């Protein structure tokens, strides 16, 4: 059943549950943890939410990404449009 669903949806998997299947998300959360969460002390969920909101604004609009040839995701999105 699962294999048919994956084929129907165009999902490509190396092996079930391997990190390579989600490499972009894994890399994103690594950046979030090392660049933000581990460097800040959040007292509650609200302060965590606000901190992550600021981080993602920075991540998408100011932080240069090597995989984008040192452009921001916003710049790449605008160039692609």
Extents of the domains making up the chain: 18-80
Give the pLDDT confidence score for residue 1 in this predicted structure.
46
* CA distance linking residue 72 with residue 64, whole number of Å: 5
Average pLDDT rounded to a whole number, residues 53-72: 94
The tens digit of pLDDT for each residue in 6-58 reads 554 555 555 566 656 788 888 899 999 999 999 999 999 999 999 999 999 99
Q: Which two tokens stand for residue 78?
A: 């605008």
What pLDDT is attached to residue 37?
A: 96
Burial of 1 (0-12, 13-18, 19+ CB in 10 A): exposed
Per DSSP, the three-state class of 62 is coil
Q: How far is CA 7 from CA 4, 33, 74, in A?
A: 5, 33, 32
């Amino acid at each position: 059943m699962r294999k048919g669903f994956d084929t129907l949806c165009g999902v490509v998997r190396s092996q079930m549950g391997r990190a390579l299947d989600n490499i972009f998300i894994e890399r994103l959360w690594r950046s979030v943890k090392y660049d933000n969460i581990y460097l800040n002390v959040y007292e509650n969920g609200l302060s965590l939410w606000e901190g992550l909101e600021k981080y993602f604004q920075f991540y998408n609009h100011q932080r240069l990404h090597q995989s984008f040839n040192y452009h921001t995701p916003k710049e790449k999105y605008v160039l692609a449009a």
